[in-house]
């Protein structure tokens, strides 16, 4: 890959990355708030302003190296009627939002091919939306890894209390394990395989949706 193509890839990845991170964190905040926790509102996280959610080093790493982080949304599960279930719902809201964004991105990509093919606008919209789809699937899959501080560990810990206790006993060890997985690349193959499976299913759902909706407008 030459330098020009590398720069183009980074530029195309920026909108999807900004959208994915912002809505991921906003989903955590709004879900916790809906469950009765005022903490995200006090912290100013009930916002669609990306600046409220970005941690700049983490965002830059995500764009350049496909691994990064955002500013964590602070929550207080004691406000929930059921803290265990509430924590799981809040954790799941972020990755689920990325999955929905991937679906919408593929719908936009397909519409750009159908109605703007051969135009500069169609090329730009199609390219940005295609990058957004893959970025958000990547965020969905990566955040479901059940290792702290990723969202997957809240879900798995909520389902299995003994595992939650294990997380709390060895928090630093868990962080080291995650860093080793990321920087050694040992999980790159499995993650890429899962990403491909997920994007295939999302493509299928987007195609089904458009097959049902487009005839209503044509």
Give me the pLDDT at residue 68, please: 67
Residue 169's pLDDT is 86
What are the tens digits of pLDDT across the range 28-58? 999 999 999 999 999 999 999 998 998 777 7
Using CA atoms of 202, 180, 153, 136 in order, give the dihedral in degrees to the nearest 10: -20
* Catalytic residue (one of 6, 25, 55, 120): 25
**Is residue 103 pLDDT above 80, yes or no?**
yes
Which residue is associated with the tokens 């090329």? 123
Average pLDDT over residues 141-166: 92
Would you say 131 and 16 are in contact if contact means Cβ atoms under 8 Å apart? yes
pTM to 2 decimals?
A: 0.92
173 has pLDDT over 70: yes
pLDDT given at position 185: 80
Question: CA-to-CA distance for 24 and 30, rounded, in angstroms?
Answer: 10
Q: Which helix (H) or strand (E) is 85 found in, with range?
A: helix 83-115
> Is 25 among the residues known to form the active site?
yes
């Amino acid at each position: 890959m030459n330098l020009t193509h590398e720069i183009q890839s980074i530029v195309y990845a920026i909108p999807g990355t900004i959208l994915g991170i912002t809505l991921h964190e906003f989903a955590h905040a709004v879900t916790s708030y809906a469950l009765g926790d005022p903490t995200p509102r006090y912290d100013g996280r009930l916002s669609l302003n990306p600046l409220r959610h970005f941690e700049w080093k983490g965002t830059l790493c995500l764009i350049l190296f496909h691994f990064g982080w955002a500013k964590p949304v602070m929550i207080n599960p004691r406000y929930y009627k059921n803290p265990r279930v509430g924590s799981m719902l809040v954790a799941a809201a972020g990755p689920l939002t990325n999955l929905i964004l991937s679906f919408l991105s593929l719908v936009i990509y397909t519409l750009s091919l159908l109605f703007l093919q051969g135009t500069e606008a169609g090329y730009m919209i199609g390219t940005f939306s295609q990058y957004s789809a893959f970025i958000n699937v990547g965020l969905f899959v990566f955040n479901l890894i059940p290792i702290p501080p990723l969202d997957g560990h809240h879900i798995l810990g909520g389902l299995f209390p003994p595992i939650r206790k294990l997380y709390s006993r060895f928090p630093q060890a868990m962080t080291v394990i995650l860093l080793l997985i990321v920087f050694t690349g040992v999980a790159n193959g499995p993650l890429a395989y899962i990403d491909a499976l997920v994007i295939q299913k999302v493509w299928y759902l987007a195609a089904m949706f458009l097959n049902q909706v487009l005839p209503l407008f044509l």
